[in-house]
Every structure is written in structure tokens, then in C-alpha cells.
Amino acid sequence: MPHRIGVAKVLSALGYHALVIDYRGFGDSTGEPTEPGLTTDALHLYNWVKQRSVDSLVCIWGHSLGTGVTTNTAVKLLEEGKQFDGIILEGGFSNVRFITNGLIEHPFSWFYWKFPYIQFFLFNPMKNNKLVFPTDENLEKIRTPIMILHAEDDHLVPFSVAQENYRIARNAQNSDKRVKLVSFDGKLGYLHNGLYRDPALPDIIR
């Protein structure tokens, strides 16, 4: 996943500590990816970091499906009287709906798309594991500063989704200062995974 490593390198070069975890059932993590499970894992990571960060800011960066995990976690923290110091949503969905005509297009099947038909063998057992990740609904509740990053040529999530997420978040917080939408020209060819290559990204993050 060069884009994951790319973002981590950008953050590290800026002097920030970056922790990146594998979803359950992927990489070195065991188990099966479920919406409650992924949210629990993110909460655990936040608490682990917060105990060790003293007074440093703790922000969360969610990419693609990870934006759903991010906003779910932010809402759970609010329910506990806590919140992130900042949220970055890159290439974010509004929500995930994935059962149509009896065929499964599970959000985690992206990793296997290059192998013909393999998602049907791997993910049919997960038909009842419906993922929602209601980012649009979560944004109505979140009061944390938010920055939305999105390429205008994103081939998986249309730029119009980013505009709608921005509209919801801006209206919820009634602020153009606490909610920002940063777009990247489609001519740059970043698509869904390439924003880390933009030379302006470090200054945008700062």
C-alpha cells in the first residue's frame, strides 16, 4: 500500500508521530473486519496514544473506507466526553451500502479486485455482516475541526461526495474556519490514492 506509507512518510518528515494499524483480518491483524470491531480498535488506539502523548495534539487521518471508521470513532469519543484535536478525511465516502440484487460488493474486497471472482469466494460468508459507516450522519454530530482532502479525478468516490460531506460538516459546525475542503486538480492524476504525492500537502497539513 504505497499511499499508506506515503502519507506516513509525509507526516514523519513534518516531525509528527504517525501510527498506522491494519484492519482486522488484514496485514498482521487477526479476526474478521466488522464495523463495531474496527471502531473499537480505533478507540483503543486513541486511548493508547492519549496516555502517552501528554499534552501533544492527537489527530486522526482516515482514507477511503477509513473515513467511516474515523467518523464513527469521533462520535463514540463525543459520547464519552472526549474528542480528537483534528480530523482529516481523504477520499471519503458518505456511507457504505453494498447489497444489491443478491451480489456482494463488500467494502474490503478492493484488495482482491485484481483476482477475478475471488471476492465472491471470500466474502459470501459475510453477507450478513452489513457495513454502514454513516459518515454523513456522523458529520452532523462532530464538533472537531475537520479537513477534507479529495482529488477531483477520484475514480472510486466522486468529488461531489466530498462537496456534500463538506456541506454537512460546515452547516453542523456553522463555520468555514473549522471545516475545510481542499481539492486537487484532476489534471494531476492523483485519483483515489495519490494525494500523498502532492508537493503542497505538507503546507496544507501544517
Active-site positions read 64, 154, 192
Cβ contact 195:151 at 8 Å: yes
Q: What are phi and psi of 198, to 5 degrees?
A: -70, 125
Cβ contact 202:13 at 8 Å: yes
Q: How buried is 76 (Cβ within 10 angstroms: 0-12 exposed, 13-18 middle, 19+ buried)?
A: middle
For residue 77, the SS3 value is helix
188 DSSP assignment: G
Write out the H or E segment, with its range, that includes residue 44.
helix 35-53
* Residue-wise DSSP of 155-174: SSS-HHHHHHHHHHHHHHHT
> Helices 35-53 and 66-79, interaxial angle, to 10°?
70
